[in-house]
Structure 1
Amino acid sequence: MRQFRSGYLGIPSLLAATIVAVSCLLTACGGSSESGSGSASLSPSARAAALGENLMVRVEIDTNDAAKSGTNCADLGADWASCARGKLILENTGGRSLAAGGWTLYVHSIRRILMIEHPAFAWKHVTGDLYALTPGAGAFTLGAGERVEVPFVGEYWYQRYSDLLPRAYVVADGSETPAILKHNDTDDETRYVDRIPPSTDDVAAFAATPAQVQRARAEAALPSAQQSAARALPAVLRETAGEGTVQIGGIDLALSGLSASQAAALGSRAATLGLDGPAARVNGRIVGGALPADIARSGGYRLTIASSSVNIDAFDAAGLFYGVQTLLSLTPAGGGSVPAMTIEDAPRYAHRGMMVDVARNFRQPATLRRLIDQMGAYKLNRLHLHLSDDEGWRIEIPGLPELTEVGAKRCHDLTEMRCLLPQLGSGPDNRSGGGYLSRAEYVALVRYAADRFVEIVPEIDMPGHARAAVVSMEARYRRLRARGDEAAASAYRLLDPADTSNTTTVQFYDRRSFLNPCSDGAQRFASRVIGEVAAMHREAGAPLSVWHFGGDEAKNILLGAGFQPLDGTDPGKGRVNLAAQDKPWARSPQCTALLSAGKAASVDELPSMFARQVSQIVRANGIGTMAAWQDGIKHANGPQDFATANMMVTLWDTMFWGASDSARTLGNQGYKMVLALPDYLYFDFPYSFDQRERGYYWASHGTDGFKTFSLAPDNLPQNAEIMADRDGNPFEVTSAGSAPRIEGIQGQAWAEVMRTDQQFEYMVYPRLLALAERAWHRAPWERPYREGERYKLGDTDKVDKAALAQDWAGFMSVVQNRELPKLTRAGAVVRTGLGMASRG
């Protein structure tokens, strides 16, 4: 989804394409006789097994700017005429010859493969990132230890090892039993990527900013653990020092206003931190509006730590919970002394969130529970679960079993009646990617989160990014139709069978990526799913208050600005047959009839029309707020168009592509706004410029903890003075109009290149702590928004960068001395340190 935009697309596709070609070539070399012809004597499954055992695919990237070396990227149809050259190296690692013919190699590539330059292979795009390469019979033989190089051209470039996906597999003619190439069955990309050109030219542009220079000075003399002892994470609104210290070996809770399960959650946190020694008595009560006005709101509290007692006066139950979490934050792992003090505190934003994509690659319930534990500890309160996408459906819906029986797993079934085709390096047997939350697991997860004051916000993405649902419901249709029950078969069908629209989505799927918003089945489906999920929340004792509609990227990327007609003359754009391209649903008779009836003005408005219809379903289920990504509501006039009491927009523009303007426009329309700025808050982006750091980088080549920490959400223009754009260039922002109202911020963990839970945790921790700091606490160096103020890196000097650096140094000291050991005790995989993005 949000990984490709306006020609600045996610880098991984081409590398993956390279892998595809390489794998195919290796497979093509398949066979198992000394002469190279004896493979015909093997059974198809044995032939595939031999290829899987002995073929190896490796990749070398020769250049990331193939146009400069004579490749006509525009004629190849590359977006913005940008393409790279490389070679797939196919090697026979076994002791017997491998012959071409009688098999097909399937390879994952999240970049479009534009050309394979080897006469021995026929190749085609299957769907999404899956490609098929078939060698001609007798075209070549690979002897033991021999290699063959297959040149290829891929769209865009390859700058990270994670741009190339693993687990190419082969299928022999006459068999549907696939075999993964053993040597490519790994999540360590360095085992099959031989070379990526160094990014010295690009990295040279990333000179340290004045804020980063100040940061380096502050980091050189980080405060000691003793100096940081009085700083909680996230930082508090205000504190007053007391006399001496208090020894906290454990906690004995006497809280009036928390449920038994909420108190137990706090006890569990204390146990995780090793607080099993002499317990300090913690008294707590709810006092509501008796608190000072600036903390008399949900989550507000006063914490008094004295030698005689620890007391919490809270506005509500959430405030009691957060008061204890602040005490636990100040307490070292294993117990220790805490300075006596009085803290008065309350949250900055109502929405302090984290989005987890469990659709592209599934996350296990234990991993999600560990995330919820950390969210509760650091006062984040909304877990946005991206439960469906093109690559997977992840929640059980009673009465629609195909959603999980087909849509939650991947296998080699070209009919897709049993599963989705493999994607994202999953292989044909769900070595990564597969899985779902059963109804019972989801109910338990909602309950577990509620006990930690974390609200789960479910997202079922529609009408775009809906391929897993569409394919699953097609399998249901065919099953029931075969029984002769046409009415039941059609009840939840999500496409118009007469639609012939030719579209290519952001992740290279066809029209089956789009749920058809003009079909009766689409509304019936939405009603069933929303109703069932709402029922799960009620059963968990945490009624659903926010439903996320999704709504993003319902478009044909080949109609984007980086392409031109075949007879176009612009050397900087790819040439494609634009006349053959359609917008989604353009050739759907059902949508044509709806447009003729005046239900929408054009096909462009169909997603927003469908969002309005879904909002009625959301309201009917007692849910007060519907949310959507910003492009899901772009043809609406404002929140008044929707049936729910509130309409929330998740804003995913980058700062350098106009996030400040978008926030102002949406805020003026009256939407509740949550910032999900990719250049600051996408945790699937790399920490640094190191090519071995995992992640997409279409919006940021390096998002370390400091960058997230430095975000000024209430004054977006300010950020243009602190950080450069994605390519290291200064950009200018001038505030215009009144300050937009911000409901909150959230981090994002998209999962295309996070195949494992370990990779997910490495990418999230410890950046989650910087997110929590900004979501809860407004720092003194954040300037107030003033209309007409101009900001530009290296040109203006309004922000107190020394104060930012000193604040960061204090935060870093707490993270290193107190919080990283706590994350380790919790069992999380953690990237040690939040340090400065490396320079190459």
Structure 2
Amino acid sequence: MKRINFATGLLAMAASMPVFALTPALPPEATQPVAAATSAGPALAAVLANDLMLRVSIDTNDAAKSGVPCADFGADSGACATGRLALVNTGQARITGDGWKLYLHSIRRILSINHPDFSLRHLTGDLYELTPRSGAVTLAAGERLEVPFVAEYWLLRYSDVLPRPYVVVAGAAPAVLRQNDTEDETRYVDALPANDNSGVPPTPAQIFRQQAELGEPLPAREVAARVLPSAMRTNVGEGEADLRGVEMSLPDLSPGQVEALRERAGSLGLAKQGLPLTGVVAPHALPADIAVAGGYRVRIAPSGVSIDAFDAAGLYYGVQTVLSLAPAGGGRIPAMTIEDAPRYGHRGMMVDVARNFRQPATLRRLIDQMSAYKLNRLHLHLSDDEGWRIEIPGLPELTAIGARRCHDLGETRCLIPQLASGPDNRSGGGFLTRDEYIALLRYANDRFVEVIPEIDMPGHSRAAVVAMEARYRRLHASGNEQEANAFRLIDPDDTSNTLSVQFYDRRSNLNPCSSGALNFAGKVIGEIAAMHREAQAPLNVWHFGGDEAKNILLGAGFQARDGKDADKGRIDMGAQDKPWARSPMCAALLKQEGVESVDELPSRFARQVSSLVNANGIETMEAWQDGLKHAAGPRDFATKNVMVTLWDTLFWGGAETARSWSAKGYLGILALPDYLYFDFPYTLDPHERGYYWGSRATDSFKTFSLAPDNLPQNAEVMPDREGKPFEVTSNGPAAHVYGMQGQAWAEVIRTDQQFEYMVYPRLLALAERAWHRAEWERPYKEGERYKLGDTDLVDKRALARDWQGFASVVEQRELPKLKLAGIGYRSPKREVAETGIEKRE
């Protein structure tokens, strides 16, 4: 066994090795089994699984400053980290390097390893194959062997280092390393560098917030009278009402809707008998400014509660307002009048069930809380490269193969493991059956929550592509060639060399030039629309997806190998293609239709799919903004409306993005990563889970502080992801914002418990901003400039006072309700401002 000095080894490696010191990735069908089976296989696999441990240390996240030639290794923007993979024998038996391979996951591209006795091969996505050289590796009891590596970008969080590496031995089932089979990353991560942003100074808004929290507590009556989300107008009267129980009379609601409200009251500990509550739909009785969809007036008196509403939704929300005032377990609430209406028609939450599946019970708990806080759109991201999550009659392979992961490198039985699922779906697997989806729709519909299904295409489609290839092989083998090709999603002659944003090959993209792709889209849309009809639940919006159909190696952070820019990775640019660039099907289509570039194919396909959406009676098609960028405007599409989910960060031009899409006539939905991605960490603490490319820390206060109707204003309140000020000037007329939504992407949210920790209590801050416009939000004014530490237009003291009231209600009244509901929320007492300053207990 040879040990290599890491610092000198890297410099030697740079001089002697090619840019990518990995075995080139091969398509799974080209891989070979480990070796011929032997009777010793199961015994060896058992020893390895029990005794071998993989530990990881990260040495530096700015390796270029340490002399590592990151650009030569092909790192995007010349940014790389260095670290060590340590194989540790924790048992008593000697381990040799013969007859086994280790499979490990990395969300960062591993660009190189430096050990003569190991080879590393990227398979696809985050899965790598580490192979010891036969006869060269021996690990005695207690011995540790280190393999230095270079990875792209940085690894700042424990959650960056994924668990569940597994070993494969011929003749034995793949086996997860027992000591790495954990959701506690600190058990196998030896070291991380110090947090890069630990010294970020507090912003004025954070200072005022801290002063407010450390000052005099709010009067109890003021907290008791505050609704969450806040109402347009409240007028507190004399006396109190006893809300230990409630007796509802709501003739204008359906039995299911009334039962949902009674279940909510019961979950808060309220009895079925008690304070009389009556409500009717009476739009004529309301003032003009609340006589809108979802508007209502509530009158609370010691003798009972009465509600007048514009429509059934307003009546439902009026009851939820009363229940919002109730303490957990019931109690007395102030007599008062509340007049209210929603800020936006779209108040949503997106859940990624594709990367890692969420159980129906968890989704129902989410719907309960969305309903309680007046969020009305559940956007389900049902498909992606890593999984397909809804049963489609007639296409069984979608779930039989696309919804499960196993160690089948040819992917004839399943997808290969991703995102630390292990070879046996210890996390990640599952799908909604047709009956489960219909039941979920009915449950949501009774709670005034619409479900928006998203089937992502043409990018992020690998699970569907692999599944439909399995279908093709099955039918082709039976001689039914026409049917075999009916839903095939690739051009078999396409040789384009691409790497997707999350490191998949060309099968990440279905081929929009094939007839099978459009057939497939029509089949899936029709079947899901039928489920909505059977559930008697509206399908008003279809989400097309459309994002990130590109080759990441052709991005701005890369250059040709003879380039001289140290801030760009050097790669063989001549070997890289745009998606479908070498597809004969697409070449013929481009020539036939006069389309200038393959860049236009996603938007062209979106226009085609919109006709299918419209044919199924769905009025609105929605897409992530990059999926429609080559369309002239919403009139290009067949649906009545076109919504765009806007996901630029504000410091990368998100305000101008929202304005420009609005100017074209699209309905804009804010999904700003720096404020509304709930898969990002709460704080700078490296133990906090999450991706952080758009924000190093997004606590509830940051989400609460968002001014969605005047996006430039936010540049004066919060810094960019590095803690640095940035400037935004409001150019042109104001963007028309149709709505906003939170996002819970699931790459490093493997369990339902982790999901609830990440979503709650940030969901409550989302609801506050989506429903209510605060007084400290400035009106949009063209030509107004905002910059943190430079301009002083925003009333930050008013923001802090408003936060103090909101946070007091959350802590005193709403968290006990989440606890009663069995929600695994993150306690705000742990919350740290983006500066790293601990919040007062």
Measured against the shorter chain, the TM-score band is over 0.9
Q: Is the 8 Å Cα contact of residues 467 and 514 (structure 1) preserved in structure 2? A: yes
Report what 1:67 is aligned to: 64
Q: Is the 8 Å Cα contact of residues 224 and 813 (structure 1) preserved in structure 2? A: no
Within 5 A, what are the aligned runs for 1:274-313? 274-276=269-271, 278-313=273-308
Report what 2:459 is aligned to: 464
Within 5 A, what are the aligned runs for 1:39-54? 43-54=40-51
Q: Is the 8 Å Cα contact of residues 275 and 303 (structure 2) preserved in structure 1? A: no
2:774 to 774, 779, 786: 779
1:796 to 791, 803, 807: 791
Q: Is the 8 Å Cα contact of residues 600 and 609 (structure 1) preserved in structure 2? A: no
2:601 to 606, 620, 624: 606
1:461 alignment partner, SS class: strand
Report what 1:401 is aligned to: 396
Q: Is the 8 Å Cα contact of residues 58 and 192 (structure 1) preserved in structure 2? A: yes
Within 5 A, what are the aligned runs for 1:182-201? 182-199=178-195, 201=196
Q: Is the 8 Å Cα contact of residues 459 and 548 (structure 2) preserved in structure 1? A: yes
1:648 to 643, 652, 664: 643
Report what 1:91 is aligned to: 88
Give yes or no for the alignment of 1:431 onto 2:426.
yes
CA–CA separation in structure 2 for the residues paired with 1:429 and 1:574: 36
Within 5 A, what are the aligned runs for 1:820-831? 820-831=815-826
CA–CA separation in structure 1 for the residues paired with 2:38 and 2:234: 80
Report what 2:204 is aligned to: 210
Q: Is the 8 Å Cα contact of residues 225 and 817 (structure 1) preserved in structure 2? A: no
CA gap 1:269/1:835 in 2 versus in 1, 3 angstroms: farther
What is the number of residues matched between the two proteins? Answer: 803
- Residue type of the partner of 2:724? N
Q: Is the 8 Å Cα contact of residues 225 and 813 (structure 1) preserved in structure 2? A: no
CA gap 1:545/1:149 in 2 versus in 1, 3 angstroms: same
CA–CA separation in structure 1 for the residues paired with 2:41 and 2:376: 54
Once the 2 structures are TM-superposed, how far is the Cα of residue 40 of structure 1 from its aligned partner? 10
Once the 2 structures are TM-superposed, how far is the Cα of residue 43 of structure 1 from its aligned partner? 2.1
Once the 2 structures are TM-superposed, how far is the Cα of residue 50 of structure 1 from its aligned partner? 1.5
CA–CA separation in structure 1 for the residues paired with 2:470 and 2:219: 61
- Residue type of the partner of 1:574? G
CA–CA separation in structure 1 for the residues paired with 2:614 and 2:787: 44
CA–CA separation in structure 2 for the residues paired with 1:303 and 1:599: 60
Give yes or no for the alignment of 1:545 onto 2:573.
no
Once the 2 structures are TM-superposed, how far is the Cα of residue 177 of structure 1 from its aligned partner? 1.9
Report what 2:17 is aligned to: none
Q: Is the 8 Å Cα contact of residues 402 and 476 (structure 1) preserved in structure 2? A: yes
Once the 2 structures are TM-superposed, how far is the Cα of residue 224 of structure 1 from its aligned partner? 4.8
Once the 2 structures are TM-superposed, how far is the Cα of residue 344 of structure 1 from its aligned partner? 0.4
CA–CA separation in structure 2 for the residues paired with 1:536 and 1:508: 34
Q: Deviations for 1:517-547, whole angstroms, at most 9, x for unmatched residues? A: 0000000000000000000001111131100
Report what 1:507 is aligned to: 502
Q: Is the 8 Å Cα contact of residues 705 and 835 (structure 1) preserved in structure 2? A: no
1:823 alignment partner, SS class: helix
Give yes or no for the alignment of 1:79 onto 2:73.
no
Q: More deviation in 276-285 or 780-789?
A: 276-285
Identical amino acids, percent of aligned pairs: 68
Once the 2 structures are TM-superposed, how far is the Cα of residue 504 of structure 1 from its aligned partner? 0.2
Report what 2:450 is aligned to: 455
Q: More deviation in 277-286 or 370-379?
A: 277-286
Report what 1:351 is aligned to: 346
Q: Is the 8 Å Cα contact of residues 668 and 739 (structure 2) preserved in structure 1? A: yes
Q: Deviations for 1:292-312, whole angstroms, at most 9, x for unmatched residues? A: 111011110000001122000
Once the 2 structures are TM-superposed, how far is the Cα of residue 405 of structure 1 from its aligned partner? 0.3
Report what 2:679 is aligned to: 684
Q: Deviations for 1:386-443, whole angstroms, at most 9, x for unmatched residues? A: 0000000000000000000000000000111110000000000000000000000000
CA–CA separation in structure 2 for the residues paired with 1:296 and 1:592: 55
Report what 2:557 is aligned to: 562
Within 5 A, what are the aligned runs for 1:679-758? 679-758=674-753
Give yes or no for the alignment of 1:125 onto 2:122.
yes
Q: Deviations for 1:618-645, whole angstroms, at most 9, x for unmatched residues? A: 0000000000000000000000000000
CA gap 1:277/1:641 in 2 versus in 1, 3 angstroms: closer
CA–CA separation in structure 2 for the residues paired with 1:485 and 1:277: 61
Report what 2:484 is aligned to: 489
Scaled by the length of structure 2, the TM-score of the pair is: 0.94
Once the 2 structures are TM-superposed, how far is the Cα of residue 175 of structure 1 from its aligned partner? 3.1
Once the 2 structures are TM-superposed, how far is the Cα of residue 203 of structure 1 from its aligned partner? 2.3
- Residue type of the partner of 1:154? A
Q: More deviation in 705-714 or 223-232?
A: 223-232
Report what 1:25 is aligned to: none
2:529 alignment partner, SS class: helix
Once the 2 structures are TM-superposed, how far is the Cα of residue 277 of structure 1 from its aligned partner? 7.0
Once the 2 structures are TM-superposed, how far is the Cα of residue 601 of structure 1 from its aligned partner? 2.2
2:128 alignment partner, SS class: strand
Within 5 A, what are the aligned runs for 1:580-659? 580-598=575-593, 600-659=595-654
Report what 2:813 is aligned to: 818
CA–CA separation in structure 2 for the residues paired with 1:746 and 1:554: 23
- Residue type of the partner of 2:732? G
Q: Deviations for 1:300-358, whole angstroms, at most 9, x for unmatched residues? A: 00000011220000000001100000000001000001100010000000000000000
Once the 2 structures are TM-superposed, how far is the Cα of residue 599 of structure 1 from its aligned partner? 5.4
Once the 2 structures are TM-superposed, how far is the Cα of residue 838 of structure 1 from its aligned partner? 5.4
- Residue type of the partner of 2:149? F
Q: Deviations for 1:566-615, whole angstroms, at most 9, x for unmatched residues? A: 11111111100000100000000000000001253210000000000000
1:180 to 176, 184, 196: 176
CA–CA separation in structure 1 for the residues paired with 2:167 and 2:40: 14
Q: Deviations for 1:110-147, whole angstroms, at most 9, x for unmatched residues? A: 11011111111111101100000111111021111111
Which 5+ residue runs of structure 2 have no aligned equivalent? 1-19, 24-33
CA gap 1:514/1:292 in 2 versus in 1, 3 angstroms: same
Once the 2 structures are TM-superposed, how far is the Cα of residue 149 of structure 1 from its aligned partner? 1.1
Q: More deviation in 803-812 or 237-246?
A: 237-246
CA–CA separation in structure 2 for the residues paired with 1:541 and 1:709: 35
Q: Is the 8 Å Cα contact of residues 178 and 412 (structure 1) preserved in structure 2? A: yes
1:523 alignment partner, SS class: helix
CA–CA separation in structure 2 for the residues paired with 1:587 and 1:203: 47
Within 5 A, what are the aligned runs for 1:84-483? 84-172=81-169, 174-175=170-171, 177-199=173-195, 201-204=196-199, 206-221=200-215, 222-276=217-271, 278-483=273-478
CA–CA separation in structure 2 for the residues paired with 1:70 and 1:293: 67
Report what 1:5 is aligned to: none
